Amino acid sequence: MRFFDTHTHLDFLSQALNCPIGELTKNAQQQGIERLLIVAISAKNFEKVTACAKQFPLQLRYGLGLHPLYIEQHQERDLAILEQLLAQQDPLCTAVAEIGLERAVESLRCNEMWKKQCMFLERQLLLAKRYDLPINLHSRQSHDQLFPFLKKAQLARTGVVHGFAGSYEQAKRFVDLGYKIGVGGTITYQRANKTRETIRKLPLDALLLETDCPDMPVFGFQGQPNRPEYMKVTFQTLCELRTETAEQVAKTIWHTSEQLFWSSL
């Protein structure tokens, strides 16, 4: 079975483990994680993310974007830098990522920061539309606020709501709009009943697998940096929740992931 980790921060994992990117991708491949998408969080790591993918083009693709968690440090010029890079249409750049909305951090919900979050999201959705790229979305305690932005944007290539933790009704609204739902380590925790039930009920072709490494650890590996190979634990849990065979689950999700994030053309 073949797997595609559709949301990683390999540059930060490499730093956390003091381990070269090449070794990380090799370890992932040994567990069947053949492809990985590495996403940016700010203009400061655009160059590093790009370099990682260019070093290992058979395994990696990358996305460039301005993460809402760091909205305080983002500047207007960062949007200009982002557009300049997207305009180059590098075939290895297959997403505008990581973008979205953040409401779990109180300081980022104040009027000034919330307006800035919304403005940056809107501008990046326009860039995704202009350069015909899918998006990889951060949405924490903000599913209901995010949906209207996506509905208004009407992206042809849509994308994924990554690391989804929410209700079935919220997920279905995204899916009905053409978006995929990112399945991560959350479902490996028995207490995550709402998210587990949501993932069990959604159409299989609406799901993607991801790690968000080095974040979002799977059960049993708390306190450790998450790694792409731990995605197999999430996959095993997913298979327990679903009625399809493991082979069917793997094949469908591989196809969906590859179709969305492997080629920018």
Give 119's Cβ-side CA count (13 Å radius). 13
What does the alpha-carbon distance between residue 108 and residue 97 come to, in Å, rounded to a whole number? 19
What does the alpha-carbon distance between residue 77 and residue 228 come to, in Å, rounded to a whole number? 33
Q: Which two tokens stand for residue 65?
A: 């974007």
Q: Are 65 and 138 in contact (CB under 8 A)?
A: no
- Give the annotated binding-site residues for a divalent metal cation: 7, 9, 98, 138, 162, 212
What does the alpha-carbon distance between residue 146 and residue 207 come to, in Å, rounded to a whole number? 19
- Give the annotated binding-site residues: 7, 9, 98, 138, 162, 212
Of 166, 171, 71, 158, whose CA–CA distance to 121 is shortest? 71
Check whether the bond before 91 is cis (ω within 30° of 0).
Answer: no
What does the alpha-carbon distance between residue 151 and residue 174 come to, in Å, rounded to a whole number? 9
Sole residue written with tokens 């409401």: 103
Q: DSSP for 95-140?
A: EEEEEEEE-SSGGGSSHHHHHHHHHHHHHHHHHHHHTT--EEEEEE
